[in-house]
Amino acid sequence: QFDKAGVGQNLSPRFISSFLMFSQEVLILIEKVILEIVTSLSKDEAPVLVLPNRSSWANVSFDNAVGLQMTSGSSVTTVRSNCSSSVTKFGHILKVLSTIYKLVQSNVYATKRDIYYNDTQLFGSQRTVDSIVDDISCMLKVPRRRLHVLATSKGFISGDLCYLEEDSTKVDCHSNSTVNPTNTKYIPPTSQHHIVSSAKFVLIVEKDATFQKLLDYDFCTKLCPCIMITGKGVPDVNSRLMVRKLWDTLHIPIFALVDADPYGIEIMCIYKYGSVAMSFEAHSLTVPSVMWLGLLPSDLHRLRVPEDALIPLTQRDQNKLTSLLKRPYLACQPAWQREMEMMQRSKVKAEIQSLASIAPDFLSRVYLPNKLRYGGWI
């Protein structure tokens, strides 16, 4: 709870004033939705909710400086209260709107998981709540954070970085081991302030196993001061917000280290250009400056990675690769396109761990230092 936990006691009057203003705006927006429903009922009409369609590429435009962003005239989905196929979703949305209203009004925060467990029989699954919260955020045009709904963090961060959380707790990421999510190493769901760092770059690492291996090697200090982040696969919103915050604040290079396979490339693209589902928050989530450090398909040939460390592309991989090559952002990334076409021709992929077939410590002692020293990114 925001006030009972003492959160905000050390914050500036300007921050508190801004916070209260945003909260009031959210309440007004929710009241407007409810008023429209009541008005429909008073006219003996079945209420409807209109949601922007978050799953269609037709609703998304591409801007090289922003990434994938929802267009202003996007198509919509109508959720009707008198239709058997949508009445359940209509009820779910009203329930979550009611919960959000109480949270904002009381200065209390809750996780999406809290909302689900508050009425598991109504929602049926956590995925239902996750989707509805994002639908509401998109409908109201309000970032999820301002709805007082948080997501449980899954990403890790470590390296040359200190910052203050919203409750003025100081977080020091100078460490080579990760700790409990209530402490410092999980990427927090709250905003960060007063970021201090002498890092020379940020390294996004696709997989937790690789992240932990680099921590064991003390990579963040041995080569030069840096910050490492992993979303442990497909990144959550908290991980993407943190990368964006570091880019906005520190103005240092952002590199991505992902598997040389279609899904690793797609994860990197989510950090750089965003996703269709979250395109309505592109301005706060995308980092167009992200550079592909590795593992490049051309590296497999150049480094002569043993054939028994390479994996044949499945039909699913080939379909994903074909889909990626049609994405609008590939037109402004010819070097990326060439690498993906090389993968398409060779019909093989490789995980970052495949470099261990050359030498157990090849990634940390040879591959990354040389890439960073001699500009081996695209």
Give the catalytic positions in this structure: 117
- 289 touches 247 (CB < 8 A): yes
In the numeric block, the tokens 């709107």 are attached to 97
The residues that bridge with 149 in the sheet, in sequence order, are 110
Closest CA to 203 of 217, 216, 188, 214: 214
Q: How far, in Å, CA of 21 to CA of 44, rounded?
A: 35
Q: Which two tokens stand for residue 251?
A: 């103005």
DSSP output for 195-232: EE---S-EEEES-HHHHHHHHHTTHHHHTS--EEEE-S
Quick check: bond before 27 cis, omega within 30?
A: no
For 313-337, b/e burial (b = at least 16 CB within 10 A) is beeebeebbeebeebebbeebeebe
Tokens at 83, concatenated: 């239709």
Parallel, antiparallel or unpaired: strands 156-159 and 170-172:
unpaired
- Quick one: the chain helix, strand, coil %, rounded to 5? 50, 15, 35
| Alpha-carbon distance values, 213 to 209, 217, 267, 294, 356 (Å) | 6, 6, 20, 16, 12
Q: 157 - beta bridge partners?
A: 229
DSSP letter at 144? G
Contact 93, 49 (CB under 8 A): yes
DSSP letter, residue 2: T
Helices (H), 309-361: 315-325, 334-346
What gap in Å lies between CA 107 and CA 3, rounded to an integer? 7
Alpha helices in 261-374 (DSSP H): 262-273, 282-285, 297-302, 315-325, 334-346, 362, 368-374
